Amino acid sequence: MKIATKFLGEVEIVEHDILTFEHGLLGLEEEREFVLLPIDADLPLALLQSVQHVEIGFVVAYPFAFKKDYSFDISEEDREQLQIDKQEDVLPYAIVTMKETFQESTINLLAPVILNINKKRGKQIVLQDSKAYPLRYPMLPLEGSAK
């Protein structure tokens, strides 16, 4: 099936790749179906695009590419909602706030998007632990990385 996207134009997707967000995203609770689309194979970025609405799409980043020691726990309730059976099924992303230049852009480490890639389920969670990750973390590449 074809869908229109915010940043990539019209793309072909497979229905099996649709991710279900039972509670939507923060501020978009009614938006329940998204697809994760690669942006550039050389960058740890993707597009989390609504299947229904072209204007609802977010650039997301693999957070460990920008903060090596990033870590958090997933609550038992969230594990149940996401139907997580094994750690290997979990894929975390952080929503990017794009600025004029990539170096000025930030990622939201406070409210990661957690995907169960096996069960095609997703949820955005707000971290409650004492580490207090920022809402706007600079997207500077790690030392030694190619980008």
Instruction: From first to last of the 147 residues of the chain, give the pLDDT tens digit.
Output: 999 999 899 999 999 999 999 999 999 999 999 999 998 877 889 999 999 999 999 999 999 999 999 999 999 999 999 999 999 999 999 999 989 888 889 999 999 999 999 999 999 999 987 567 989 999 876 544 444
Give the whole-angstrom CA distance, residue 65 versus residue 13: 26
Pairing of strands 57-61, 90-97: antiparallel
Give the whole-angstrom CA distance, residue 78 versus residue 124: 10
Strands (E), the chain: 2-5, 9-12, 19-20, 33-38, 45-50, 57-61, 90-97, 106-107, 113-116, 121-124, 137-138
pLDDT at 102: 80
Helix (H) or strand (E) holding 120: none
Pairing of strands 45-50, 33-38: antiparallel
pLDDT at 141: 64
The pair of structure tokens assigned to 92 is 């975390």
Domains (range + CATH), the chain: 2-138 (2.30.290.10)
